[in-house]
A and B are shown apart, each in its own frame.
Chain A
Amino acid sequence: MTTHLAKVRRRKAEPALARLRISLGCLLLAGLLTMCSKGPSPANPTGDLYLQLEATVGPAPLVLNTGTYPNGNGEQFSISAFKYYLSNVKLTRRDGTHYAVPDSYFLVDAAVGTSQHLVLPAVPTGEYTGLSFVVGVDSARNVAGAQTGALDPVHGMFWDWNSGYIFMRLEGTSSASATGRLLFAIMGFQKPYNALRTIAPAFGGATVTVSPDHQPEIHLSVDVQKMFTGPAPVRFAEVYDSEGGPSAVRVADNYAAGMFTLEHIHPN
């Protein structure tokens, strides 16, 4: 304890020097580590896995702004923005165990083509029989303060005055809406209106094999109409916006029930 305090005091006295010493130490260690980890490690081989998300509204491909679609409840609508978080990706092995892709937070934006192509890097090789992910951002990250990357609030997916991430955001227009507009900001991670949903699209016996030589690609279809149809149908005449709460739970229950389906797998 005394030694520690003495160290702290010394560091305070010469902070620049201490910092330099620490940085030099870090550099040396970093170099060593890089050297040590050079070359293949046959004990733990890995490969990349790709996830391609294809947005549709019912059977039709999603076209922002100009497309007009039925919502499944006899109302028509257009979509100007559709974004969602896909996080906490897990791959299931045949024996029922999982591989959790570390720090996997993706923001998928229908307006940004590249955002629909997700790379799951350095997945341990092997055969996987299923996939699961969270639509949204887990409660821990919702309250963890400033974030970077996909979770940077600059992306417009952070709700500030009732703070937390928007899990799925749809903006658009519909003549059925009292205001003519639609704004669904699906969010909320606290009981009883927790809209976090974990989704595991059925693989139906399909498998995906990850190896150093193959970069398989899983294609998922993402049907936007499923926000409004399913266990709790949403009519725009009744609900045309959501900022969390009971309406968010309704939409989340809907999209959890069938928005994401396996299209096919390219073994590549």
Chain B
Amino acid sequence: MRWASVACAAGLLLALGLARYCSKRADAAARSALVAALPRNFPAPVYAPVPAREAFELGRQLFYDRRLAHDGTVSCASCHRQATAFASPERISPGVGGRRGRRNAPALQNLRWKHTFFADGGPKNLETLPLAPLTNPLEMGATLPSVLAKLNADPVYVRQFARAYGPGPITSYQLLRALAQFTAALISASSRYDRYVRHEAGGTLTAQELRGRALLQRKCSSCHATDLFTDDSFRNNGLSRSFPLDSGRVAITFLPADRGRFKVPSLRNCALTAPYMHDGRFATLAQVLAHYDHGLVDSPTLDPVLRQPNGRLGIPLTAKEQRELLAFLRTLTDSAFCRAPGLAAP
């Protein structure tokens, strides 16, 4: 008798596993359109799961829902605005109760290609990332159980989650997966530059823009690499002698060599994502270029690529070169991405 029940249980487990496998296959088919849509000029993505339509729509709704914050005043979109490539125009954007942290909200784009997130690389998976802003008392100030309780008390969400994940109470797994389905789909790859490299209609660059591109490849691409325009690494780019306010990567790794190191951001849409640097200290791209030309401050962890053979710090750029670089950087603006109705508030 005991044997029969054990065997039955094992059989059921196997069957469940198989059913899960089958539903994954079905998902894969439904998602094929999005797989095909991966930009040809990008490397292979890091985050494999591809958005399924229902979960994506659910994630989109959650992203724009202020009720997720403990006092219902801010949503993810409060700091990550589509019109500016999901970055914030404010140096430090306010969280619940108008509280402010110490970092500029970065653009949310091409997140499927990132190994780590935030200026310090603390979060290591796109799905678990939202736990940080949701629970940070300076950002959304909520707790995971309280968010789940709110969602489970809302019949509309309960119905939508059931459609995407099957019946039953809404779980953290479903919440995090749904959010990741939306954020993974924030792909910016239709700038004029993209059309140029993919030889598509409208893909022309002026002579000045092309000179800017050549300059960028020569002087900036050791960090702003590939068509993602970042190598996803952490570097000290000479913003401070000692980083007293924010020491960057060292807070994650505890390694002194990581003091003052911050994630290299993508240059995509940079004409829209002012202000710049982890603390939003520079208001314009011209100021950023001026910093690289003559504004660097030395410290023991300053990135070696920013030390010239003659001992000078930074990347020397003439006024003409700066104009050319700025012209090229503007070709990375992806207006379609910033206006896509499918990514806007539902």
Residues of chain A whose beta carbon lies under 8 Å from any beta carbon of chain B: 7-8, 11-12, 15, 18-19, 22-23, 25-27, 29-31, 33-41, 46, 122, 142-148, 152-154, 158, 160-164, 190, 192-193, 212, 244-246
Cross-chain contact of B29 among A12, A31, A158 (Cβ < 8 A): A12
CB distance from A190 to the nearest CB of B (A): 7
CB-defined A-B contacts under 8 Å, sample of 13: A8-B32, A11-B26, A12-B32, A33-B11, A36-B11, A39-B4, A41-B3, A145-B176, A145-B180, A148-B173, A153-B172, A161-B118, A192-B255
Q: Which residues of A contact B122 (CB under 8 A)?
A: 161-163
Within 8 A of A (CB), among B107-138: 118, 122-129, 131-132, 135-136
Task: Establish whether residues B128 and A145, one from each chain, have CB atoms under 8 Å apart when the complex forms.
Answer: yes
Q: Which residues of A contact B14 (CB under 8 A)?
A: 33, 37
Task: Establish whether residues B173 and A37, one from each chain, have CB atoms under 8 Å apart when the complex forms.
Answer: no
Interface string of B1-39 (1 = CB under 8 A from A): 011101110111011101100110110011011000000
The verdict on B319 contacting chain A, using a C-beta distance below 8 Å, is no
The verdict on B242 contacting chain A, using a C-beta distance below 8 Å, is no
CB distance from A19 to the nearest CB of B (A): 5
Task: Establish whether residues A30 and B131, one from each chain, have CB atoms under 8 Å apart when the complex forms.
Answer: no
Q: Which residues of B contact A25 (CB under 8 A)?
A: 22
Task: Establish whether residues B11 and A38, one from each chain, have CB atoms under 8 Å apart when the complex forms.
Answer: yes
Task: Establish whether residues B22 and A26, one from each chain, have CB atoms under 8 Å apart when the complex forms.
Answer: yes
Task: Establish whether residues A122 and B131, one from each chain, have CB atoms under 8 Å apart when the complex forms.
Answer: no
Expressed in whole angstroms, the Cα–Cα distance for A246 and B250 within the complex equals 13
CB nearest neighbor in A for B115 = A143
| A37/B11 contact (C-beta < 8 A), A25-B22, A146-B177 known | yes
| A34/B176 contact (C-beta < 8 A), A146-B127, A154-B145, A154-B148 known | no
**Residue among B4, B129, B253 with max Cβ neighbours from chain A (10 Å):** B253
| A158/B128 contact (C-beta < 8 A), A33-B11, A37-B8, A39-B4 known | yes
The verdict on B233 contacting chain A, using a C-beta distance below 8 Å, is no
| A142/B30 contact (C-beta < 8 A), A30-B15, A162-B252 known | no
CB distance from B19 to the nearest CB of A (A): 5
Task: Establish whether residues A37 and B7, one from each chain, have CB atoms under 8 Å apart when the complex forms.
Answer: yes
Expressed in whole angstroms, the Cα–Cα distance for A161 and B126 within the complex equals 12
Task: Establish whether residues A153 and B128, one from each chain, have CB atoms under 8 Å apart when the complex forms.
Answer: yes
Task: Establish whether residues A145 and B2, one from each chain, have CB atoms under 8 Å apart when the complex forms.
Answer: no
Task: Establish whether residues B19 and A30, one from each chain, have CB atoms under 8 Å apart when the complex forms.
Answer: yes
Task: Establish whether residues A153 and B144, one from each chain, have CB atoms under 8 Å apart when the complex forms.
Answer: yes
Task: Establish whether residues A142 and B124, one from each chain, have CB atoms under 8 Å apart when the complex forms.
Answer: yes
Expressed in whole angstroms, the Cα–Cα distance for A158 and B145 within the complex equals 13
Residues of chain B whose beta carbon lies under 8 Å from any beta carbon of chain A: 2-4, 6-8, 10-12, 14-16, 18-19, 22-23, 25-26, 29-30, 32-33, 118, 122-129, 131-132, 135-136, 144-145, 148, 171-173, 176-177, 180, 251-255
CB nearest neighbor in A for B3 = A40
Q: Which residues of A contact B253 (CB under 8 A)?
A: 190, 193
Cross-chain contact of B15 among A34, A158, A164, A212 (Cβ < 8 A): A34
Cross-chain contact of A160 among B29, B126, B131 (Cβ < 8 A): B131
CB distance from A217 to the nearest CB of B (A): 18
Expressed in whole angstroms, the Cα–Cα distance for A193 and B128 within the complex equals 22
- Contacts A31-B15, A154-B145 known; list 13 others, CB within 8 Å: A8-B29, A29-B15, A29-B18, A30-B16, A30-B19, A37-B8, A122-B6, A146-B127, A153-B172, A160-B132, A160-B135, A161-B118, A164-B124
Task: Establish whether residues B180 and A148, one from each chain, have CB atoms under 8 Å apart when the complex forms.
Answer: no
Q: Which residues of B contact A153 (CB under 8 A)?
A: 128, 131, 144, 172, 176
Task: Establish whether residues B254 and A158, one from each chain, have CB atoms under 8 Å apart when the complex forms.
Answer: no
Task: Establish whether residues A161 and B132, one from each chain, have CB atoms under 8 Å apart when the complex forms.
Answer: yes
Q: Which residues of A contact B118 (CB under 8 A)?
A: 161
Q: Which residues of B contact A34 (CB under 8 A)?
A: 8, 11-12, 15
Task: Establish whether residues A145 and B127, one from each chain, have CB atoms under 8 Å apart when the complex forms.
Answer: yes
| A41/B171 contact (C-beta < 8 A), A145-B176, A161-B118, A161-B132 known | no
Q: Which residues of B contact A15 (CB under 8 A)?
A: 29-30
Q: Which residues of A contact B32 (CB under 8 A)?
A: 8, 11-12
Task: Establish whether residues A163 and B18, one from each chain, have CB atoms under 8 Å apart when the complex forms.
Answer: no
Task: Establish whether residues A146 and B4, one from each chain, have CB atoms under 8 Å apart when the complex forms.
Answer: no
Expressed in whole angstroms, the Cα–Cα distance for A222 and B251 within the complex equals 31
Expressed in whole angstroms, the Cα–Cα distance for A143 and B48 within the complex equals 13
In the A-B complex, the 7 residue pairs with the closest CB atoms: A40-B3, A30-B15, A145-B127, A37-B11, A245-B254, A146-B176, A160-B131
Q: Which residues of A contact B124 (CB under 8 A)?
A: 142-143, 163-164
Cross-chain contact of B6 among A8, A46, A163, A192 (Cβ < 8 A): A46
Q: Which residues of A contact B30 (CB under 8 A)?
A: 11-12, 15
CB nearest neighbor in A for B178 = A146
CB nearest neighbor in B for A25 = B22
Expressed in whole angstroms, the Cα–Cα distance for A22 and B27 within the complex equals 11
Cross-chain contact of A163 among B15, B125, B144, B172 (Cβ < 8 A): B125
Task: Establish whether residues A143 and B125, one from each chain, have CB atoms under 8 Å apart when the complex forms.
Answer: yes
CB distance from B230 to the nearest CB of A (A): 20
CB nearest neighbor in A for B145 = A154
CB nearest neighbor in A for B25 = A22
**Residue among A23, A30, A190 with max Cβ neighbours from chain B (10 Å):** A30
Q: Which residues of A contact B29 (CB under 8 A)?
A: 7-8, 11-12, 15, 18
CB distance from B48 to the nearest CB of A (A): 10
Expressed in whole angstroms, the Cα–Cα distance for A36 and B11 within the complex equals 8
Q: Which residues of B contact A7 (CB under 8 A)?
A: 29
Q: Which residues of B contact A33 (CB under 8 A)?
A: 11, 14-15, 18
Q: Which residues of A contact B173 (CB under 8 A)?
A: 146-148, 152
CB distance from B105 to the nearest CB of A (A): 15
